[in-house]
Amino acid sequence: MIPPEQQGLEGEPGQPAPKKGSSLKGDRVNVCLLMFLYTLQGIPMGLGSSVPMILQSKGVSYNDQAIFSLVGWPFSIKLLWAPIVDSVYSEKFGRRKSWLVPAQYLIGICMLTLSSWVDFWIEDPEGPRIVLLTGFFFVLLFLAATQDVAVDGWALSMLKRENVGYASTCNSVGQTAGFFMSFFVFMALESADFCNTYLRTEPLPYGVVTLSSFLEFFGWIFLVTTTLVMLLKRERLPPPDEEPCVGILDTYKQLLRVMRLPALRKFSLVLLTMSISFSACDAITWLKLVGSGVPRDKYALVTVGLIPIKMFMLFIFSKRLTGEKPMNVFMKIYPFRLGLNLVVAAFIWATPYMITKNEIPLYFYGLMMLIYGFVSISMYTMFVAKMAFFARSSDPALGGTYMTLMNTLNNIGSSWPNSLSLLLVEPLTFKRCPTNDSNTCSTPELTKDCAGGCLTQLDGYYVLIAACTVFGILWLMWAIPVTRELQRKDSQEWKVKSQRQRKLEKEKSQILKGP
């Protein structure tokens, strides 16, 4: 699951900042409501990142993790149904509430239903029910992505024109708060060690909350708050010139015209391949840490402790990446990030030697925070550079369609390599049974048959790290001249010709051809 800070969906770069002199008078309640709705949206997103950690501690295979990673895809492909959410609605009920209310009711119902079964599916003696878990959480994230489209649109009509820029702040802060609650807070309260150390006087073998109770609590929160929003918040009708409603077919036609632009097609190839180099590091590393015995709550504590650093870096680099060639910074950071692949792999290799007798020394957490900090800084610097280039290249005449398409391509480019890496790690891992040379330990059944326990001869994680790093070097050699060429292109090469322009060109062509 892609964290909120990495996704183009929160705080669209093309969205205007709050104007100087703008006042929140009359909009304070609206800002609070938007922030709350985005916080609710962050709850399923955080759970999508928490569950893989729980599954890893249960010893599931990386193939199973690859299947579960599909739950994050709805946010990457929401562009496919976003035009329907924007165009099909009940005028009497409200354009945005027509989708927001049903989506949030269904999220609440889905959470309550899941709370009755999730603990059984995870604790099943025959192994976690991955397909059922994936199906339910995919539906949950699909509904959250639909709610995201509705709230993004509602923010534009809910706030005054001079305060529309606050929508991106509500989005970013709200999603991060929701992710924080359902990832860090949940992981901490679910951990018996954390609760026994900080919250209890007498130790118990379980945490304060379970995944089931967490889902049940927020299921009711969704149902109650959605009812209140439906009854108490009225949706104002915007003037026709403020929020034009484009038809479904017209929106899809716009997208097709954008995709036909040679500049965007070439940049799409860059976006869809740039994350392959880091996929093994991003998708597998932290699961390896949990599998090596690092407590889930400690990992969550490290990641949350770095959120202020991430926000600070985003603020600093946002001001420095507003020039004409932001992708130059991206390409300068890229080799550094490739080098971190090897540093992270070395840290994972050394982890079993640092963790002795199930005790984790303090310096281990210091190293983990330092390495993760460098990874985060490089990751978010590159993220801001991409967003700056998106904003510079987008055609303002197409409103949010152009930006949404770029963000979708970016999210897909981050999602598919991660899923593929998780799928490949086990086929590339080679083991042997020390008590039976004919046993290759290639299946769960053969692994159980090995009395002495299988020994890993070659870990597919390191194979993928090496392959991704080599690919990254080759990709960089190809991408540097390509991005330089794209940045040199005239702004007109990124714009779609209007119907009037196409008609004039057609008439001019006919005149030149003569009778």
Q: Residues 75, 80, 86, 89: is their CA dihedral positive or negative?
A: negative
25: Cβ–Cβ under 8 A, 6 or more apart, which residues? none
| 278-300 tens-digit pLDDT | 999 999 998 898 888 888 878 77
Backbone angles phi, psi at 424, to 5 degrees: -90, -20
Is this structure's pTM higher than 0.85?
A: no
Alpha helices per DSSP H over 58-96: 62-68, 73-76, 82-87
| 504: confidence class by pLDDT, cuts 50, 70, 90 | low
Q: Helix (H, G, I), strand (E, B), or coil: what is residue 72?
A: helix
Is CATH 1.20.1250.20 what the domain over 27-245 is classified as, yes or no? Answer: yes
Domain spans of the chain, in order of start: 27-245, 262-495
Are 9 and 407 contacting, i.e. CB atoms less than 8 angstroms apart? Answer: yes
Fold match between domain 27-245 and domain 262-495: yes
20: Cβ–Cβ under 8 A, 6 or more apart, which residues? none
Please tell me which of 8-17, 134-143, 301-310, 455-464 the model is most confident about, judged by mean pLDDT.
134-143
| 457-470 tens-digit pLDDT | 889 999 999 999 99
Provide mean pLDDT across the span 230-250: 69
State the average pLDDT for the chain.
Answer: 83
The three-state (H, E, C) secondary structure of 336-353, written as one string: HHHHHHHHHHHHHHHHHH
pLDDT at residue 15 is higher than 50: no
pLDDT at residue 502 is higher than 60: no
One-character DSSP codes across 270-331: HHHHTTGGGHHHHHHHHHHHHHTT--HHHHHHHHHHTHHHHHHHHHHHHHHS-SS-THHHHH
pLDDT at 419: 92
Provide mean pLDDT across the span 150-163: 81
Are 234 and 469 contacting, i.e. CB atoms less than 8 angstroms apart? Answer: no
Q: In terms of pLDDT, which residue wins out, 91 or 396?
A: 91
| 238: confidence class by pLDDT, cuts 50, 70, 90 | low
| 192-214 tens-digit pLDDT | 888 888 888 888 888 899 999 99
Backbone angles phi, psi at 430, to 5 degrees: -120, 130
Backbone angles phi, psi at 321, to 5 degrees: -115, 30
Find residue 436's DSSP bridge partners.
433
In this structure, which amino acid lies at residue 225?
T
Residue range 262-495 forms a domain whose CATH class is mainly alpha
| 242-262 tens-digit pLDDT | 545 567 787 788 888 888 889
pLDDT at residue 52 is higher than 80: yes
Q: Looking at 151-241, which runs of residues are DSSP E strands?
A: none
